[in-house]
Structure 1
Amino acid sequence: MDPRIREHARTIVDHSTSVEAGDNVVVSAPSVAEDLVTAIHELLGDRGANVVAMDANPRFTRAFLRAGDDDYETPEHVLALYEETDVIIRVRGETNATEQSDVPPETNAAYKRAYKPVQGEMLSKRWCLTQYPAKGSAQLAGMSTEAYENFVYDAVTLDWDAQGELQQQLVDILNDGDEVRITSGDETDVTMSIAGNTAINDTAEHNLPGGEVFTAPVRDSVNGEVHFDLPLYRQGREVSGVRVRFEDGEVVDYSAEGNEEVLDGVFDTDEGARYLGELGIGMNRGIDQFTYNMLFDEKMGDTVHMAVGSAYPETVGADNELNESAEHVDMIVDMSEDSVIEVDGEVVQRDGTFVFEDGF
């Protein structure tokens, strides 16, 4: 077994989820990731945890959704499992990244609504989402298998203490601020309040790799237009050239150059799907290539992402409204050129470089 797989497993078990003796752990992963899952199981056994393994095969999900009638109920047996779970480890790894491309967006939206209580229970636990460098994922990224393996392992084995110190400087700025304005080129100019909310320093506790600072906008405060000029890959489809206009927090107009029907399904999921739940700022300079994988792409330096849908409760202050939704869909703006982030009128990033970095 590649020693980097064992290092990846140790980071998951010890850093990201801090597994202890007696913890009930669910590991959900595709069969292509069996080496990583095996290494995780060895560590869980050594730590004295209890483990349940689940095969996360998109072929199974596709078959189920295509055979259904969009009248889904919350799977109470799955909810019961997660109610009794302490730690959830989810591993991604594609053999066919387009497996679910022929599932209608409205079907995905219906399933998301039914699954929302399960999602909420999962997010209340110690959880980690990570990536196995499968060949299908490498192909989607346009990389050789070896190059993608190096890319993934370099990203997940970062010095997270040092990364956290870098990011804390932005956390402090945001936590002392009230209003954020983001401009990029001629098509992005958006303002939002973050007053009373909390910025989080992502050092790979939940997402591995980590490398962002994120918070939640005040729900009804977002105004302006955003051109998400980097594509997202969702439900086996590339959604490109997304443009969104916000008024008093709500998405009032949108378009996409490719696969706009995917956005139709997202925004029609529920009321909360038309509001922003997250503002994230990428700070991981080790992720230097776009790979059509949001787990990595949203962490890239020189990017900002905004997620429509559910907000993370830990980012929302007690006096502010938590945006709730069955969806959480991140979309990215390239901030490397002709771009500025302002906090309370002060420029904190210009063309991808932060005020506390050399070359600002």
Structure 2
Amino acid sequence: MDNNMLEKYAYLSVKKGVNLQKGQVLLINSPVECTDFARAIAKAAYKEGAKEVVVHYGDQKLQRLKLEYASMETLQEVPNWLAESFNSYAREGCCAISISAQDPDAYKGVPADKIATFQKYRQIALNEYYNYTMANKIRWTVVSVPTEAWALKVFNNSNSEEAVQKLWDVIFKVVRLDKEDPIKAWDEHNSNINKTLEFLNTNKFTKLHYTNSVGTDLTIELPEDHLWLGGAEKSVDGLDFNANMPTEEVFTLPKRNGVNGTVSSSKPLIYGGNLIDNFTLTFKDGKVVDFTAKEGYDTLKELLSSDEGASHLGEVALVPYDSPISNSNIIFYNTLFDENAACHLAFGKAYPTCIENGENLSENELFEKGANSSIVHVDFMIGTKDLNIVGINKENKEVQIFKDGNFAF
């Protein structure tokens, strides 16, 4: 990839993604295949006045060896130095950029319980760091660049070079790097999302009812003090940042025990390097009481049993079917992109910021208000071209929010 474009993308990630301020530490989490982009981000950060840039590299091939040969006891051990690196930098007010570019088939064939054990104990060890990000106590963003394995999964009829170039072209378009002024384009995009947020937050819906032709018939209650967020968010110090680049969603949290009915997936879910596809979930009083999956049943089972909160929902997100990523008609096998192509829900932990003053509430106080708690937060896609969503407000009046996959207002 042309170095000028890579540097332009890195600058956008630093400036519009995390909104790095002079004197801050930047923490980068990157696959080893993405070293060029990690270095470009580091350069952009230092030019913007970063105090220091710290990079943690992940190697899926090396990790697969560990998953295959290490004992279950070893997979439960997370080195103190690794956990403290993430947790301590969060405590000190770093910014964090994660590069999401994993091979969707990296852990294919590895026993689901070994992957789940590794994921669970890493989440526990880095829990403080994840709490800081989800409460917007630090500014963070997730971005992506192609890797060969990922690109070949997405464009499986192309050779390596063609597949990577095609994925670059799509990524540059959806993060608005094809615009003359990407920063201005992001400002306009965030402004448009704010109009949707204003409608949803003004109506203060108490329930959402989802239906479509593939089996979804789901009612989701919303907590009284819920807030819809999306686009640019604010950290606790009042600075704007974009947590996902790209982003097309608006989102809030469901009432932990207020989800009932059945929902069907609309896109594959990659969890822990394994594929879960064509799955359905049945909820009663907020909890998954039954599920099916044509592929990845054992992985889904392990995910749902990560802890008590993993079988409840923590996020409700709306994305129009007629949107840039969706219109590409590409399945990305990457949650950053696929979740911004379709309405989705998330297993596990709720964002505290989706409750009024939630970032200042304790875990128990959030729980009392209906927010779910868990060590996991995993998005899965449910949006279809015929999805209908009806909102019910405090006066018990029904308002059409989605009709045939798109916003109806």
- What TM-score do you get using the length of structure 2 for normalisation? 0.81
Query: Does residue 149 of structure 2 align to residue 136 of structure 1?
Result: yes
- Report the 3-state secondary structure (helix = DSSP H, G, I; strand = E; otherwise coil) of the residue aligned with 2:331: coil
2:384 counterpart of 1:331: no
Contact 1:58 / 1:99 at 8 angstroms: preserved in 2? yes
Tell whether 2:227 aligns with 1:198.
yes
* Match of residue 347 from structure 2: 308
Aligned to 2:265: 228
CA distance in 2, matches of 1:79, 1:31: 19
Counterpart CA distance in 2 for 1:46 and 1:225 is 50
Q: Post-superposition shift, 1:247?
A: 0.3
Report the counterpart of residue 156 of structure 1 in structure 2.
175
Give how far 1:128 is off: 1.5
Q: Which residue of 1 is the match for residue 179 of structure 2?
A: none
Between Structure 1 and Structure 2, the one with more helix by share is 2
Give the RMSD, CA atoms, in angstroms.
2.0
Query: Would you say the 8 A contact 1:24–1:84 is kept in 2?
Result: no
Give, in whole Å, the separation in 1 of the partners of 2:32 and 2:118.
23
Letter in 2 for 1:333: I
1:73 and 1:15, CA in 2 relative to 1: closer, same or farther beyond 3 A?
same
Contact preservation (8 Å) 2:214, 2:264:
no
Partner of 1:268: 305
Q: Render the CA deviation track for 1:274-297: whole Å, top value 9, x for unaligned.
A: 000111112482212322211101
Q: Which residue type is aligned with residue 293 of structure 1?
A: N
- Mapped to 1, the partners of 2:340 and 2:109 lie a distance apart of 29
Aligned partner of 1:282 among 319, 329, 340: 319
Maintained 8 Å contact 2:78/2:125: yes
| 1:173 positional shift | 3.1
CA distance in structure 1 between the partners assigned to 2:214 and 2:39 by the alignment: 50
Query: Aligned pair in 2 of structure 1 residues 60, 202: CA closer, same or farther (>3 Å)?
Result: farther
Partner of 1:219: 256
* Among candidates 206, 209, 222, match of residue 246 of structure 2: 209
**Structure 2 residue runs without a partner (length 5+):** 133-137, 157-162, 177-181, 233-240, 359-367, 393-397
Deviations 1:22-80 (A, max 9, x none): 21222121232222112111112212320112211112322233333323145432232
- Give 3-state SS (helix, strand or coil) of 1:66's partner: helix
Residues 97, 236 of structure 1: 8 Å contact kept: yes
Q: What SS does the corresponding residue of 1:89 show, helix, strand or coil?
A: strand
Gaps of 5+ in 1: none
Instruction: After TM superposition, give the deviation of residue 93 of structure 1 in Å.
Output: 2.6
Which one-letter code corresponds to 1:146 in the other structure? Answer: Q
1:123 Cα offset (Å): 4.5
Q: Secondary structure at the match of 1:272?
A: helix
1:110 maps to 117
Which residue matches 2:4? 3
Identity level (%): 24
How many angstroms apart in 2 are the aligned matches of 1:186 and 1:19? 44
Shift of 1:162: 2.1
Measure the CA separation in 2 of the matches of 1:267 and 1:7.
Answer: 40
Q: CA deviation at 1:200?
A: 0.8
Name the SS for the 2:262 alignment partner.
strand
Query: How big is the shift at 1:98?
Result: 1.5
Q: How many residues align?
A: 352
Whole-Å separation in 2 of the counterparts to 1:5 and 1:119: 32
2:278 to 241, 244, 247: 241
- Distance between the aligned counterparts of 1:236 and 1:79, measured in 2? 21
Q: Which is worse superposed, 68-77 or 129-138?
A: 68-77
Deviates more, 1:129-138 or 1:61-70: 61-70
State the secondary structure of the residue aligned to 2:295.
Answer: coil
**Is this contact kept in 1: 2:87–2:128, CA < 8 A?**
no
Q: SS where residue 241 of structure 1 aligns?
A: strand
Which AA in structure 1 matches 2:66? F
Give the Å deviation of 1:335: 2.5
| CA distance in structure 2 between the partners assigned to 1:4 and 1:285 by the alignment | 24
Instruction: State whether residues 105 and 275 of structure 2, in contact with CA within 8 Å, keep that contact through their aligned partners in structure 1.
Output: no
Taking structure 1 as reference, are residues 224 and 62 closer, same or farther at Cα in structure 2, changes over 3 Å only?
A: same
